[in-house]
Amino acid sequence: MRVLAAVRSCGVKQVLMMPENGGICRLLKRGLQREQQQGDHRFPELEMTNTPISGTVDDTFAATQAMVDSGVKAIVVLGGDGTHRAVAKVCGQVPIAGISTGTNNAFPEHREPTITGLAVGLVATGRIPESVAFTSNKLLRVEINGGERRDIALVDVVVSTERYVGARALWRTENLRELFVTFSDPEVIGMSAIAGLLEPVRRNDSGGLHLLLEVPEEARIPLQVPIAPGLIRTVGVQSWQPLEAGIPVTLKQSSGMIALDGERELEFGAEDTVQVTLHENAFRTVDVGACMRYTGKQQLLVGAPLDLLAT
């Protein structure tokens, strides 16, 4: 509701939304109907993408593609790292505006949704130039046996000695052996915090980091890490080095499981060759901070409401 009110104040009249069966759409439609009945018309027209609902990540893939095909100016994503990763796989050059609502929230920045909505609305109506509004992002590409299996991560790739997917989240830090990150922020929670507490790398810095991990009792550096909300675990770090863009790195671990942005996704064995490559300028996001600074400097919100100007 906050995002919709904000984009409408900027002149956006139509919004596409992904259908789902978790109750978000139902509550949103109910809220919009209530506001209309009370004479409040500060919300845009809301339409659902004509995509199937299976309750799986395929829903996100299909809805994102439908939005891209319809020519949307930006895609607002509600979720954690996994949801943003799913959208980034399909969105192409359509920029993402992330709202942190998931379990692993290293990629989406924590910000009031009203502000994110204002930035998106000003971008969508062309009031902020793309050179200011958008920023390029890095990602990690994992390839097994030259691309026989492949996937991406927006924040981190973790290699564990475990050989089963099971529960998707990572908790047993004594099994971690390698970590690749696109950026390392000491203020975030999750696996990338391991790197952030040793050598911070900003989102817009060139390159990332590659860390070798070990059982904490045998590691050179035992490190206390917030791997989940309210959960601090000891992680053993042997060494770390810069990760250069475009240069594949072959895993040292011979077999195990690979987690992408905090979720177990890929298993591999001694017969497999696994490489991880950092890619820069892989997809775009709305730089909400830059947008709002530009808005202030240019006084874009001074005067009549933008939705009146756009009618």
Question: Is residue 149 domain-shared with residue 272, that is, in the same domain?
Answer: yes
CA dihedral for 278, 281, 284, 288, sign (positive or negative): positive
pLDDT at 159 over 90: yes
Question: Is residue 132 domain-shared with residue 7, that is, in the same domain?
Answer: yes
pLDDT at 311 over 60: no
Question: Is residue 104 domain-shared with residue 147, that is, in the same domain?
Answer: no
Q: How far apart are CA 121 and CA 66, in angstroms?
A: 20
Q: What is the pLDDT of residue 310?
A: 43
pLDDT at 304 over 70: no
pLDDT at 233 over 50: yes
Question: Is residue 248 domain-shared with residue 227, that is, in the same domain?
Answer: yes
214's CB contacts (< 8 A; 6+ apart) are 177, 220, 236, 237, 238
Q: How far apart are CA 39 and CA 61, in angstroms?
A: 36
Q: What is the pLDDT of residue 306?
A: 60
Q: How far apart are CA 77 and CA 99, in angstroms?
A: 6
DSSP letter string, 130-199: HHHHEEEEEEEEEEETTTTEEEEESSEEEEES-----SSB---GGGEEEEEES-B-TTS-STHHHHHTTS
Contact 260, 266 (CB under 8 A): yes
C-alpha closest to that of 282 among 82, 91, 137, 154: 137
Looking at the 3D structure of the chain, how many domains does it have? Answer: 2
Q: What is the pLDDT of residue 169?
A: 55
pLDDT at 86 over 50: yes
Q: How far apart are CA 25 and CA 78, in angstroms?
A: 13
Question: Is residue 46 domain-shared with residue 175, that is, in the same domain?
Answer: no
Q: How far apart are CA 258 and CA 142, in angstroms?
A: 9
CA dihedral for 291, 294, 135, 193, sign (positive or negative): negative
Work out the average pLDDT over 240-249: 97
Per the prediction, the chain carries an average pLDDT of: 91
Contact 135, 290 (CB under 8 A): yes
DSSP conformation class of 22: S
Question: Is residue 186 domain-shared with residue 208, that is, in the same domain?
Answer: yes
pLDDT-derived band at 309 (thresholds 50, 70, 90) equals very low
The residue with tokens 């077999």 is: 255
CATH number at residue 181: 2.60.200
Q: What is the pLDDT of residue 29?
A: 86
pLDDT at 274 over 70: yes
CATH number at residue 95: 3.40.50
Question: Is residue 275 domain-shared with residue 290, that is, in the same domain?
Answer: no
Question: Is residue 269 domain-shared with residue 147, that is, in the same domain?
Answer: yes
Q: SS3 for 277?
A: strand
Question: Is residue 144 domain-shared with residue 118, that is, in the same domain?
Answer: no
pLDDT at 72 over 50: yes
271's CB contacts (< 8 A; 6+ apart) are none
Question: Is residue 211 domain-shared with residue 232, that is, in the same domain?
Answer: yes
Residue 236 belongs to what domain range?
A: 138-281
- pLDDT tens for residues 135-149? 999 999 999 999 999
- The kind and range of the H/E element at 223 are strand 221-228
Question: Is residue 129 domain-shared with residue 205, that is, in the same domain?
Answer: no
DSSP conformation class of 38: T
Question: Is residue 295 domain-shared with residue 258, that is, in the same domain?
Answer: no
DSSP conformation class of 300: T
pLDDT-derived band at 235 (thresholds 50, 70, 90) equals very high
Angle at which helix 288-298 crosses helix 113-124, to 10 degrees, equals: 70
